[in-house]
Structure 1
Amino acid sequence: MAEAALALCCPVCLDMPRNPVTIPCGHSYCMSCITGCWDHEDQKGIYSCPQCRQIFCPRPALTKNTMLADLAEKLKNMMPEATLRYAEPNDVPCDVCTGRKYKAVKSCLVCVVSFCELHLKPHCVSAAYEGHKLVTASSAIKEMICSTHKKPLEVYCQTDKEFACLLCVLEEHRGHEVVSAATERQAKQKEIEEMQGNSKKRIKRRESELTEITTSVETIRKFLLHRLIVVGRLSGGLADRTTVGVHFERLNVSVQRSRPGEEVTGVLLLYPEHALNVIECSTEALLSVLQDLRHMEENLHSGAAEADSSSLTRSGLILEPRILLVSHDLHSRLFQQWSYKLLSESDGCRTVVSEDQSSEELVRETLRQVLQLGRHLFNAAEQMTGSKVIPDEVLRAAADVIPPQAAVCGLVQMEALLSPARYLSTYHSPLHQLLDSGNSSSLSA
């Protein structure tokens, strides 16, 4: 049967013919194999038989050889497919084949030889090989044989933890605990499967824990409390300073609506010519505020601040914004709500700004006053009654802690303080580096 299959093999693919055809010279091929060969010869216009090299012109028409197809189908049903395949680099080759070797299908532990289907036939039909033990073809066949007695290693000694042949059991392993090699292999396979199962469970558990940690970190990062203090100059063309308060109030509301659970608190002080804005919020809300300030700054440089009033309302509210402070990872809020107040020229004048005062002293004194103002507003929360506009009587008692407009003007003129645009371009994401490097910083160029 194997010889018949070998004779029927396609000379091109060396396999049982699929959709066989017979060309004029009498040789037969798979339809796809001969078609592929002739497709490469189309440019020459001369076609040849890959086996005998007989030339045909024009290209012969191909018709299925029904008889050959039926015969090949019967042989396929009588013997395994891949029976006479040539050995690939990773296959076990037949030890009996000469020249190009076929793929081995079985190894004999008695002969210590691997056989292809063709050369295995004697082991299957001859009584002389009846006692030979056939196993799946293996390149390690010699390792399955006892080096002392040249017998198959059919026993496993549990005492010495090694495989042995039957003669070894009667000699070196006499009286030891032994089981068949097959039993030991099954036990080891079961043990390996259990270890793999446990490993998969541990990996899955670790992945789940990692996912939870990642989620927790993202949640923490998202809701970390930050404080931003920005100073700036109000546009000279601004008719009503209330417009600035309304703008930031709408921005806060928009942030809170788009991110449920977030809260924005702080205070906006609107002097006749300047503004001081304190914002306490989460990471994403802080980013929104910084981007809004940068938008104002960019529109100022592009000339939008000098455009019509509607454009001014959208983007020219605060000019030359400067970041006085960004604090991260705060434990608690200084302000219970966000509110704003229109200040007069006299508000904050109880604090005198000296011309000899250094930049560091000016920043430090302003931050101290903002801190005290926050404590005052926190204690006066009941008087605020949820209003976004701070009542006069609330600030009247805090006159000593309101930073004077002169101080704010001096801060705006300090080149050492970053603008929102420079801040975002420097850190790319406003909290990308600072969250990992420090809790509070007065930013400088």
Structure 2
Amino acid sequence: MASSFSLLSEDQLLCPICLDTFTKPVSTPCGHNFCLSCLSSYWDNERVHQCPVCKETFERRPDLKVNTFISGLALQFRLLQVTNAHTWSPGPLKDSAEFAVLCDVCTDIQQQAVKSCFECLTSYCSVHLEPHHRAAGLKRHTLVDPLANLQDKICKEHNHILRSFCLSDKVLLCDICFRSQHMNHDVVPVQQAYGEMRDLLGDTEARVQQMIQERQQKLEAMKESVKESKRETSEVIAESVKELTALVSEVQRSQTELMKVMEEKQKAAEEQAGVFIVVLEQENIELQKTKMKLMDIKQTEDQLSFLQTFPESFLLPHTTDLSSFSFNRHMELQHVQKYLSSSVSQLQTLLKKMTTEITTLSASNDVTLRDLQQYEVNVLLDPDSANSILVLSNDGKQMRYDNSPGRVYIHRPNGFSHQLAVLGQRGLWSQRFYFEVLVSQKTEWCLGVATASIQRRREVPRSPDCGLWAIWFRVKRFEAFSSPGVTVYKGKVERVGVFVDYDKGQVSFYDVQTATLIYSFSDCLFTEELYPYFNPCDNECGSNWDPMVIVPVTRIRRLH
């Protein structure tokens, strides 16, 4: 392999701009070579398109294509650098026999291997490695630190060493894989990819650690809040019971006082009336006597005797002035009744208001949904991600299933091929967002959020790590996409609200009409942007032609 580059110097494979080995090399019309990204960035910042080396100016910006020959040379050169760095290096031996790689050639007592050979697929101790230092043919073999399971390092299709890694497709490649299928991809040596992936994992690990700390702090704060809330709730309940009990006692006291006063007034009136009755009865007796006397005189027929006995004056008994007393309590009682009714009505109004406020406290779903709606975002559909069977509206707000005969299907390279799905245009990262979707009378649909790397050209597995957090509605029941066959909610909805709290790892779905929580994913670990996900589904569960429509938020209004 070293002889392959004996006529080339390292400088010939370096980009004049970044001074590193070519990555996706392109050639200008004047014959100079650069990394695609380096030259593109250079021209993006210049008004005139000219060669950075010879300064030749081009009337039009050249259409750059990756030079596959130079790309192959650059990759081989990077691989050679990595191989040479590992060849002949003594490499530390493992102290633990449990993890030591043993020589495959030793027959008696196997010694620890010091090198593994990719071409021989064999690990050697220092004694059996000696031919690789001496024999010309063996010197060209690739020696690395001892590796177990060498067969796993060989391409199953071409039986060549897996030397490189395609960052575009996330697959390991041998030389033949690279030349046949990945020349225009972002390909790097395995060691470089390993380092980059480890760095990426390190960044993700740091982010996960930060999220753990944030959640731990939030957890402690939440526990303390719950404890404080419990204490305050007990105090409020005790104080409320005390005040309401005092109110009930006051009402009972008023009732007792009212009954006492009314009964005393009635008794006093009856006593006064009793005295007057006795007087009137006595006066009636005296008047009856006077009447009898007058009747006797009136019956005398002897005129002389009548005149002689006729009294000089008629002395009537003393009587009471009837107008000085009356027993009419109707007006007084009517006034008391009117005042009492007015007071009770006012008290009932206050009690109804208090009951309404208490009921308001129990309507937690309503309050929660109204709070979440403030995070509304404007969602537009991304046509490039849509399955070719879907029809999207011109305003980017509606999608529907349409497999009518004679329809022309648009092939979309980045579109879904197995899911009848489409994503939103805008990815959202590290924030809260909310949107609403009208599902009307549809018999089946799937709605949620997905990662940018969700599988588009193959079936998305229904598992927790599939990159999709969605609910799937079929006829009258809901499932979580990641838990097939498990019903999480029953019924039918017309309008669905989707809320995402990226930092808390939460995705929640609401029935907007009733402000009811349908389902919530919690403790999710998000590591990339999330995109709204829509799947109007086909007619498997009955007529399902209605579209899914992204609609403006409907603000919740409570009726009092």
Structure with the bigger RCO (C-alpha within 8 Å, sep 6+) is 1
Structures share fold, TM-score greater than 0.5: no
- TM (norm. structure 2) is 0.25
State the structure with more CA Rg: 2
